[in-house]
Amino acid sequence: MDANRVNRTRSSSATTLWRWLPPVVLAASSSLVLTTTAQAQTEEEAALVVCDDKDARDRGRSTRRRAGGSNRDCEYREIVVDEETGEVLRERPVAIQRDVVPRRYSDIPRPTAEDYVALVPIPDRWRIVDSLGYPNNKWDPYNQNVIKGDKPIHGDWFFNVTAISDTVVEFREVPTPVGVQSTDRSGELDVLGSTEQALFNENLAVELVYYQGDTVFRPPDWEFRFTPVFNYNYTELEEITGVNADPGDGVDRHDNHVGIQAAFVDKHLRNVGDRYDFDSLRVGIQPFSSDFRGFLFQDSQFGARLFGIRHNNRFQYNLAWFRLLEKDTNSGLNDVSEDLRDNDVFIANVYWQDMPKLGFFSQATVAYNRSREDDFFYDTNDFIQRPASLGQERMRDYDVYYIGYNGDGHFGRLNLTVSAYAAFGEEDGGVFTGEDSDIEAFFFAAEPGLDLDWIRLRGSFLFASGDDDPFDDKSQGYAAIFENPQFAGADTSYWIRQGVPLIGGGRVALSQRNAVLPDLRSSKEHGLSNFTNPGLWLAGGGVDLDLLPELRLSFNANYLAFAETEVLEVARQQSNVDEEIGLDLSAALIWRPFMSQNVVARLSYAQLLGGDGFKDLYGDEDPYSLLLNVILTF
């Protein structure tokens, strides 16, 4: 007989035997078999309870409660998964012993339907905080304070006051010309005078903001902002006609001014999304920066700006028009007592978050600078500012268009800021020829950085094109509209911080104060953009050392050179001016005693080790600057 027949025979015999057993025996046997089977299944389940909640196949068992406590003895599976495909390669049971904790039941009974009442009004969140007993102190910006916008002053209108004291004490060496009439030092008379200078400058800014709306989740409906700045400044030189065109004013100057740095109305026009994407309109004197580092235009000017965000703040845009204000000469603040200048700036830009990679911002900018200045203008110190005392010293009209890309963010551990602009257009009358000229200029800057725990390493590179022929029909030196660069050490750097005059070539500055471009304009505050300039190369590096949470030490070294020198040779009537400006070395110690921006003190020292080009213009000088800056914010 084969195996199948044997099995069938055994099955048949067993069936025949069961048929002949008494019914009582059959019932007892069936009960015994069922009980044994159920008990075996129960013991098997008790022995193996899979508690891996991340495994969808056993989630039903993992969440099943067990009487006697909230924890139980479980058997967990160790799972090995292929990182690329996600395929489960191996499963291995791992037993874990857990102590069973008795369940705890609340003594508070469950609420019944009768315990629920109809809706009743409750106080807003500010009055709830008041009811909890938090104190209000108008001098404490970190606790409940009605003048810091922590609660409305009436309805849903808020008021916020910010006060900033910015104090600067500076000792410096700057190339200074000998006065036209004479010098203050007997026995000496030459083109280049004594370089020692001292400065004290105090700005007290009071920002008053009155706005409506719950700004926790959305922009304010209305905002009125007014920011006056009260300035006092003192300057001392060692040459007469340095502080004023009148030699009778001597070698020092006291001056004060009240500037209006913000006075605008902001109207929230509409929301365009569930997460408060919006459009707003702002009209008046308002601060604005065209890019991340202030390379093209960063100032507070009068104008109108339409701005907003889209796609959950992934895109931000600005459409702006500004008409430039006159500045106070000695403080650099807005002077609203003067008429608006005949100089218009139009800017459109778009920010794109996480483009091309998560953590990096990209921005596209288009700008138009239109100048129609036709009146002679003398500054507070009676020096001519428009037209610039350079070349033919004549008024110029120009139409300049800027197209630029800016990026800021990080790629992994690498931080990166990059900026590139092309400027093109035309000007009515070249600086040296008086003929119409086409503007074709370029600019590029990049600053990579790497964070190593408490150390940040930085590199800096910048190129601004220069004009290699001041007598042709092209102006190829790059010039910004109103720059204020935060780059390569910023105002810690000697070259960026100090304004160096072009002595013997016209009453213009080789470089402006708080600027990086050698654009040969009369001043950044009053002058016109000049696209007939030598251009610049800059390559440098720096390191920031966070010695303590409240103490940072920074070092910067920048190598500087002119891109072209033909313009300088023509202006100075001097041949063979070398391209090398020199090596700019600086160090800064920044102290924040409360680890916040409320008190910031900075002590910095910078020195320019003059290269051959700088020595050709100013002799064997290695000028320095020593700066103490204290900022107090309420």
At 295-325, the pLDDT tens digits run 999 999 999 999 999 999 999 999 999 999 9
Q: What is the pLDDT of residue 76?
A: 52
Q: What is the pLDDT of residue 149?
A: 86
CA 556 to chain CA mean position, Å: 20
Q: What is the pLDDT of residue 451?
A: 94
Question: How wide is the angle at C-alpha 434 spanned by C-alphas 429 and 437, nearest 5°?
Answer: 45
204-228 pLDDT tens trace? 999 999 999 876 777 899 999 999 9
CA of 407: how far to CAs of 254, 362, 417, in Å? Answer: 42, 5, 6
Count the helix, strand and coil residues of the chain and give each as a percent rounded to the nearest 5.
15, 45, 40
Size of the chain, expressed as the number of residues it contains? 634
Cα–Cα distance, 496 to 511 (Å, whole number): 8
- 373 touches 528 (CB < 8 A): yes
Q: Name the more confident of 629 and 217.
A: 629
Of 512, 508, 504, the closest CA to residue 536 belongs to 512
Domain topology for 146-195+210-329+341-633: Porin (2.40.160)
What tokens does 327 get? 């500045």
Judge whether residue 77 has pLDDT over 70: no
State the DSSP string of 154-213.
BTTEEEEEEEEEEEEEEEEE---BPPSS--SSTT---SB---EEEEEEEEEEEEEEEEES
Q: Which helix (H) or strand (E) holds 570?
A: helix 566-572
- 528 touches 386 (CB < 8 A): yes
Q: Which residue has the tokens 């605008």?
A: 264
- 498 touches 628 (CB < 8 A): no
Judge whether residue 95 has pLDDT over 90: no
Average pLDDT for 185-205: 83
Share of the chain above pLDDT 70, in %: 82
Average model confidence (pLDDT) across the chain: 85
What is the Cα gyration radius of the chain?
38
Greatest CA separation found in the chain?
145
Cα–Cα distance, 195 to 172 (Å, whole number): 8
Judge whether residue 41 has pLDDT over 50: no
- 328 touches 311 (CB < 8 A): no
Q: Name the more confident of 43 and 265.
A: 265
Judge whether residue 110 has pLDDT over 60: yes
- 243 touches 253 (CB < 8 A): yes
- 236 touches 198 (CB < 8 A): yes
Cα–Cα distance, 78 to 88 (Å, whole number): 11
Of 386, 392, 480, 376, the closest CA to residue 432 belongs to 392
What tokens does 115 get? 């315990």
CA of 19: how far to CAs of 9, 22, 26, 29, 540, in Å? Answer: 15, 8, 9, 13, 102
Give a three-class secondary structure readout of 250-300: CCEEEEEEEEEEEEEEEEEEEECCCCCCEEEEEEEEEEEECCCCCCCEEEE
**Where do the structural domains in the chain lie, given as residue ranges?**
67-104, 146-195+210-329+341-633
